[in-house]
């Protein structure tokens, strides 16, 4: 009887004696189960077989409690990770929750969405400093750990912690212009670093500054940009490059003839778009010599009777000064028409309101020159005989002649 049974086993086709059968040489392969007709793998016995992706059941010592392997066929790789280990002739799955995915699993103390140490939840998802961190740890959610501000211990994202809010450390953040020691204590304002802290009036970035001493504006100086990253401190008075009270301009020097005078007044014939940017409007205006298209020139002296080398109504001027000679009547100004070209009789020192026609002879240039006298050279305007449009036309004509020359 025994000889017959042994013969049956020997005569079993060799092609059926494969590993996939789970029964090799009549020996059951680990991770398989067989009946009298066939063999199949066992999901949940903890042994990894060829047709399984994972298997964390049975007595598998390598899978965590929350391992993500439920049907031995697949795993959520966004939450879990699996790898294999071969030991004592058996292949095992090693599956566990993925630390750093922001989802706290049963085998994790925390999960703050990263694998960085020193932020309250370690790279292995273990709680770090429970004394100096507060951690909100919801199951299945993101762990949020924050340093305890005000405990006098600088940790994590804190840049300082003096145990309470101080001028240099507020809410455990070092304030602008302050410097703290390595422990996050003793935060002090630094003078001369160019950063203006709350207790400074100025800081020009120079520890040996004459205009800003220990964060205070020195006597005789003025500091600008007191709230910005750095101050500029300069002596008070004309020539410092800034327009102070009582000044019309300030080009950074006290030189006459450049548009901004030595006493910081806009000079005749100039316009200053910016305190240090003055432009000459009339060539040679201010040299004391009347040259077309000037109608007056009293040098660099300011007078309301001669503004930008243009004679004002009811004023007369010599080469040095002007005086008022009448009170102008109120009149409404109108734009001149094509025929409003005023003629000026040769040798006359007054402007006429006579308006020639378009066919009139060209005006002699010499008629625009001032009349010389032994006392002074004047241009007077008879306000009762000249119209506003003629006066404007005269100025237009004078400028046209100047451009032609």
Question: What residue spans define the domains of the chain?
Answer: 19-97, 237-281, 282-405
Q: For residue 222, list its beta bridge partners.
A: 234
Looking at the predicted structure, is the pLDDT value of residue 340 above 50? no
Low-confidence winner among 40-49, 128-137, 200-209, 221-230 (lowest mean pLDDT): 221-230
Q: How far is CA 331 from CA 43, 304, 383, in A?
A: 110, 20, 10
User: What are the DSSP calls for 347-380, one per residue?
Assistant: T-SB-------TTSPPPPGGGGSPPP-SS----B
Looking at the predicted structure, is the pLDDT value of residue 165 above 90? yes
First to last CA, the chain: 143
pLDDT tens-digit map of 34-81: 888 888 888 888 888 888 889 888 878 888 777 788 888 888 887 788
User: Does residue 144 or residue 277 have the better pLDDT?
Assistant: 144
Looking at the predicted structure, is the pLDDT value of residue 17 above 60? no
Which residues have CB under 8 Å from 134's CB, separation 6+?
145, 146, 147, 148
Closest to 231 measured CA to CA, from 274, 275, 197? 197
pLDDT tens-digit map of 313-323: 899 998 888 99
Please report the pLDDT score of residue 149 as a whole number: 94
User: Does residue 376 or residue 34 have the better pLDDT?
Assistant: 34
Specify whether the CB–CB gap between 297 and 323 falls below 8 A.
Answer: no
Q: How far is CA 199 from CA 97, 187, 188, 196, 258, in A?
A: 53, 13, 10, 8, 41
Mean pLDDT of 336-361: 38
Share of the chain above pLDDT 70, in %: 74
Please report the pLDDT score of residue 127 as a whole number: 93
Q: For residue 223, list its beta bridge partners.
A: 233
Mean pLDDT of 224-251: 80
At 23, list the tokens: 């029964």
Share of the chain above pLDDT 90, in %: 16
At 242, list the tokens: 């800034």
Q: For residue 91, list its beta bridge partners.
A: 86
Q: For residue 270, list its beta bridge partners.
A: 280
Q: For residue 80, list its beta bridge partners.
A: 97
Looking at the predicted structure, is the pLDDT value of residue 355 above 70? no
Global confidence as pTM? 0.40
Q: Across all residues in the chain, what is the average pLDDT?
A: 76
Please report the pLDDT score of residue 357 as a whole number: 39
For 323-332, letters b (16+ CB in 10 Å) and e give eeeeeeeeee
């Amino acid at each position: 009887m025994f000889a017959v049974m042994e013969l049956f086993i020997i005569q079993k086709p060799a092609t059926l004696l494969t590993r996939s059968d789970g029964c090799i040489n009549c020996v059951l392969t680990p991770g398989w189960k067989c009946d009298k007709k066939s063999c199949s793998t066992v999901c949940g016995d903890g042994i990894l077989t060829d047709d399984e992706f994972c298997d964390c059941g049975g007595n598998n010592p390598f899978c965590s409690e929350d391992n993500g392997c439920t049907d031995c066929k697949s795993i959520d790789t966004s939450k879990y990770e699996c790898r294999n280990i071969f030991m004592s002739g058996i292949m095992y799955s090693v599956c566990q929750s993925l630390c750093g995915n922001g989802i706290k699993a049963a085998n994790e103390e925390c999960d703050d969405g990263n694998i960085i140490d020193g932020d309250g939840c370690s790279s292995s998802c273990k709680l770090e400093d429970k004394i100096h961190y507060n951690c909100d740890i919801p199951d299945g959610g993101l762990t949020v750990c924050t340093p305890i501000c005000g405990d006098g211990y600088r940790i994590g994202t804190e840049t300082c912690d003096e145990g309470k809010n101080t001028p240099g450390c507020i809410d455990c953040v070092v304030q602008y212009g302050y410097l703290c020691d390595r422990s996050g204590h003793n935060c002090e304002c630094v003078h001369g670093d160019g950063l203006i802290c709350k207790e400074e009036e100025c800081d020009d970035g120079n520890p040996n500054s004459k205009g800003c001493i220990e964060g205070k504006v020195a006597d005789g100086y003025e500091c600008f940009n007191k709230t910005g990253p750095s101050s500029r401190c300069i002596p008070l008075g004309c020539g410092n490059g800034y327009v102070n009270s009582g000044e019309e301009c300030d080009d950074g020097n006290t030189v006459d003839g450049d548009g901004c005078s030595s006493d910081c007044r806009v000079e005749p014939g100039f316009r200053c778009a910016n305190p240090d940017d003055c432009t000459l409007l009339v060539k040679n205006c201010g040299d004391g010599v009347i040259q077309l298209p000037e109608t007056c020139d009293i040098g660099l002296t300011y007078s309301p009777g001669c503004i930008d080398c243009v004679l004002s109504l009811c004023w007369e001027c010599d080469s040095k000064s002007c005086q008022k000679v009448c009170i102008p009547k109120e009149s409404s100004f109108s734009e001149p028409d094509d025929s409003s070209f005023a003629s000026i009789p040769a040798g006359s020192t007054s402007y006429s309101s006579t308006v020639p026609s378009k066919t009139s002879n060209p005006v002699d240039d010499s008629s625009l020159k001032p009349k010389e006298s032994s006392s002074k050279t004047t241009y007077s305007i008879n306000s009762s005989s000249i119209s506003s449009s003629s006066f404007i036309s005269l100025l237009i004509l004078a400028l046209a002649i100047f451009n032609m020359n």
